[in-house]
Amino acid sequence: MATLCKPAVSVPEYVITMEETLDLARSRHADHPQLALALRLIGNTGVTRRHIVQPIEETLKHPGFEQRNERYEAEAKARVPAVVDEALGYAGLRPADIDMIVYVSCTGFMMPSLTAWLINTMGFPGHTRQIPIAQLGCAAGGAAVNRAHDFCTAYPDANVLIVACEFCSLCYQPTDLGVGSLLSNGLFGDAVAAAVVRGRGGTGIALERNSAYLVPDTEDWIAYSVRATGFHFLLDKRVPGTMEPLAPALRELAGDHGWDAGDLDFYIIHAGGPRILDDLSHFLEVPPESFRFSRSTLTEYGNIASAVVLDAVRRLFDEGGLPEGARGIMAGFGPGITAEMCLGRWTTAEPEHPRELAGARRIVGYAPRHPAPARTGAA
């Protein structure tokens, strides 16, 4: 059974606190007619600090979309490999043992994807499948886990590497003055995360079932307007209320598996904001403490987009894990409005010993090549 192993997470060295964020909003938008509302909304996020890839003085500048994207690529190449190495170590694997890389990011663009660069520079096999996901936003962390689960279900000997790389600060737009934009300026943070889903062996969350759900007629509630200056984040004021229609989808997924979504042992939920967690606590009828991993991510890092669910899983590991067989649910929410959800149980199975030679490992999903039979008789 496919198992999500311990994720590795890294945040940049530059930090901006809540107090600094509020002071910047006051100084830069003193005449904004809805400044008081924006300050209140930012203060209510519960985010105490965020990490960003460059000093705040540089972040507040806008040198143009081209330079922003160049910075995204440079930072990704500088920061992702160490996180990948750490995640492979947690899973007890080497690059040669990986059959597919799922790379998720919505804050920069590269073609070919960073997956190609990783394969060329870190020793992943040339036959490694590549799945870059760019347009699911914060839901992409859950989607990456689900696509890895699907692949390992099809190929039980496979191992999948997931990488989430989000530099939200590089999407700052100084001319966007809507309340939703001001709120996002105080909510989002930067992070890189990686994790391995092992087809066999490993300690972590053994994945059992996954599903997705799209809330009808909400595709413009979370969106990018792509302009000459880059990605402009659009956030509808109705987004915080989407847990009311999404909670039944979580209940249905659990119910189809014979579980009660309100009576599980762990909850890994995308922390888009405090109301999401508060509403799920209400609609699923579970204690607020059930979402402590997600809330800690939000408090200490802000909304780190697709990396949230992986960081919340890391925190579960760091707390000491769970008893064998403990049941739980994971969910990422993002544009669409889309939910990517999965169920799993905690397992402490010992990992298999990596093979001594990469060439000794079967290439997952490829039929062996047999020589054509010798021809006999006359032509």
Q: What is the CA radius of gyration of the chain?
A: 22
- Cβ pair 192, 132 in contact under 8 A: no
- Model confidence at 363, pLDDT cuts 50, 70, 90, reads low
- Cβ pair 311, 7 in contact under 8 A: yes
Which residue in the block uniquely carries the two structure tokens 């579980």? 259
Both 88 and 219 in one domain: the answer is: no
Both 154 and 238 in one domain: the answer is: no
Task: Name residue 89's amino acid.
Answer: G
> What are 325-335's pLDDT values in tens digits?
999 999 999 99
pLDDT at position 97 is 97
CA distance 205 to 336: 27
Give CA separation, 242 vs 171, 279, 330, in Å: 24, 9, 17
- Model confidence at 217, pLDDT cuts 50, 70, 90, reads very high
- Cβ pair 97, 128 in contact under 8 A: no
Both 150 and 217 in one domain: the answer is: no
- % pLDDT > 90, the chain: 80
- Cβ pair 355, 159 in contact under 8 A: no
- Model confidence at 114, pLDDT cuts 50, 70, 90, reads very high
Chain mean pLDDT for the chain? 91
Both 316 and 231 in one domain: the answer is: yes
Both 229 and 164 in one domain: the answer is: no
Both 212 and 187 in one domain: the answer is: no
In a domain, 374, yes or no: no
pLDDT at position 227 is 93
CATH number where 85 lies: 3.40.47.10
> What are 53-73's pLDDT values in tens digits?
999 999 999 999 999 999 999
CA distance 379 to 338: 61
Of the residues 184, 201, 218, the one at which a domain ends: 201
CA distance 172 to 207: 36
- Model confidence at 349, pLDDT cuts 50, 70, 90, reads confident
pLDDT at position 292 is 96
- % pLDDT > 70, the chain: 92
How many domains, the chain? Answer: 2
For the record, the structure tokens of 165 come out as 């790389």
Asked whether residue 364 carries a pLDDT value surpassing 90, the answer given is no
- Cβ pair 311, 335 in contact under 8 A: no
Residue 240: strand, helix, or coil: helix
> What are 264-315's pLDDT values in tens digits?
999 999 988 889 999 999 999 999 999 999 999 999 999 999 999 999 999 9
Could you tell me where the DSSP H helices lie in the chain?
Answer: 18-28, 35-43, 56-59, 65-91, 114-122, 140-154, 179-185, 243-256, 274-284, 292-301, 308-318
Which residue in the block uniquely carries the two structure tokens 């990596």? 354
Of the residues 142, 172, 201, the one at which a domain ends: 201
Both 94 and 237 in one domain: the answer is: no
CB-based contacts of 119-126 (< 8 A; 24+ apart in sequence): 121/81, 122/81, 122/84, 122/85, 122/95, 123/94, 123/95, 123/96, 124/95, 124/96, 124/98, 124/161, 125/95, 125/96, 125/98, 125/99, 125/358, 125/363
Asked whether residue 215 carries a pLDDT value surpassing 70, the answer given is yes
Looking at residues 177-206, what average pLDDT do you find? 93
- Cβ pair 76, 194 in contact under 8 A: no
Both 212 and 321 in one domain: the answer is: yes
Both 247 and 130 in one domain: the answer is: no
CA-based torsion, 210, 216, 220, 226: positive or negative: positive
- Model confidence at 180, pLDDT cuts 50, 70, 90, reads confident
In a domain, 353, yes or no: no
pLDDT at position 362 is 58
Catalytic residue numbers, as ranges: 138
Residue 80: strand, helix, or coil: helix
Range of the domain at 68: 3-201
Looking at residues 81-101, what average pLDDT do you find? 97
In a domain, 368, yes or no: no
Instruction: Give Dmax (Cα) for the chain.
Output: 93
* Among the ranges given (80-89, 233-242, 243-252), the one the predictor scored with the smallest mean pLDDT: 233-242
pLDDT at position 236 is 86
For the record, the structure tokens of 105 come out as 């990011």
Both 169 and 263 in one domain: the answer is: no
Asked whether residue 140 carries a pLDDT value surpassing 90, the answer given is yes
- Nearest of 103, 142, 110, 105 to residue 124 by alpha carbon: 103
Both 248 and 188 in one domain: the answer is: no
CA distance 186 to 212: 29
- Model confidence at 371, pLDDT cuts 50, 70, 90, reads very low
Question: What does pTM read for this prediction?
Answer: 0.91
* Among the ranges given (105-114, 230-239, 300-309, 343-352), the one the predictor scored with the smallest mean pLDDT: 343-352
Both 235 and 265 in one domain: the answer is: yes
- Model confidence at 353, pLDDT cuts 50, 70, 90, reads low
In a domain, 365, yes or no: no
